[in-house]
């Protein structure tokens, strides 16, 4: 069964482009071009996931999300304008599972969709399946490893009380590893998730980011978070109390 997605975007060219890409990936896609149509459609039919632009004519995306959440728990990924920090925070408060900043690389969008759908199926089925994330982000988009917490929506990482400052790619790397605790990820997989396709083959880039992450977390807090699996890739093992 292919997942049913609702794409809500008033820029029709962008909506059409996203629809084609998603259909190519095997998703069933419905489009809506304004907030009211989106809300009506989302309430009438059951979708596995909604991609919801915030800046919409009539009813904006955040309002659609708030009204929808009173009735249903359909997961929503928000599409936000670059640097619209307030939108992201409001989206978090309103219950979006993730957001993506426009303009986005289609591979990043697809990765976010896959991750959101996996989290939902894990929650619904109550079991881990296939390569579903071992530690799906919570409702608030929080991933944890012992004293470390990563907030997807706030783009924030803390260890104990300390905030750790990461670049976007370090953050994506840490997020990907945390979502897949106990699952060894190859350099190619990490490269695709973290850097996108323009870096295909340059897997040494991944080693560099791992080194940066270790210097900011493992070295500072004297922990062994990221493990190297020789000839394969990297893994964060599930946290165990000593």
Residue 14 interacts with Ca ion (CB under 5 A)? no
Beta bridge partners of 158: 149, 163
The stretches of the chain forming alpha helices (DSSP H) are: 12-24, 35-44, 61-71, 85-94, 106-125, 168-179, 187-195, 204-216, 218-221
Distance CA 75, CA 229 (A): 34
Out of 55, 59, 134, 142, the only residue in the binding site for Ca ion (CB under 5 A) is 55
Of residues 53 and 170, the one with the C-beta less far from Ca ion: 53
Q: Is 108 in the site for Ca ion (CB under 5 A)?
A: no
98 binding Ca ion? (CB under 5 A): no
- Residue closer to Ca ion by CB (options 19, 192) is 19
Q: Based on the shown chain and the rule CB under 5 A, indicate whether residue 53 belongs to the binding site for Ca ion.
A: yes
Nearer to Ca ion, 10 or 108 (CB): 10
* Stretch of 5-13, 135-143, 206-214, 229-237 contacting Ca ion, by CB under 5 A: 5-13
CB burial readout 46-74, b (16+ within 10 A) else e: ebbbbbbbbbbeebbbbbbbbbbeeeeeb
| Residues of this chain that bind Ca ion (CB under 5 A) | 10, 53, 55
């Amino acid at each position: 069964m292919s997942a049913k997605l609702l794409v809500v975007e008033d820029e029709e060219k962008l909506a059409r482009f996203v629809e084609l890409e998603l259909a190519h990936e095997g998703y069933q896609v419905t489009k809506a071009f304004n907030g009211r149509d989106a809300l009506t459609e989302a309430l009438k039919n059951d979708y596995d996931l909604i991609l919801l632009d915030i800046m919409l004519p009539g009813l904006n995306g955040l309002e659609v999300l708030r009204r929808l959440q009173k009735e249903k728990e359909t997961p929503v990924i928000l599409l936000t304008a670059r640097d619209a920090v307030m939108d992201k925070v409001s989206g978090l408060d309103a219950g979006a599972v993730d957001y993506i900043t426009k303009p986005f690389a289609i591979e990043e969008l697809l990765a976010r969709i896959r991750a959101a759908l996996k989290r939902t199926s894990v929650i619904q089925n109550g079991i881990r399946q296939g390569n579903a994330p071992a530690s799906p982000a919570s409702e608030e988009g929080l991933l944890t490893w012992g004293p470390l917490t990563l907030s997807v929506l706030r783009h924030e990482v803390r260890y104990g009380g300390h905030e750790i400052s990461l670049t976007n790619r370090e953050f994506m790397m840490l997020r990907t590893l945390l979502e897949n605790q106990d699952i060894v990820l190859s350099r190619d997989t990490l490269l695709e998730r973290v850097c996108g396709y323009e870096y295909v083959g340059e897997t040494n880039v991944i080693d560099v980011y791992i080194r940066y992450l270790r210097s900011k977390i493992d070295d500072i807090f004297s922990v062994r978070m990221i493990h190297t699996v020789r000839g394969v890739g990297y893994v964060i093992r599930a946290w165990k109390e000593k």
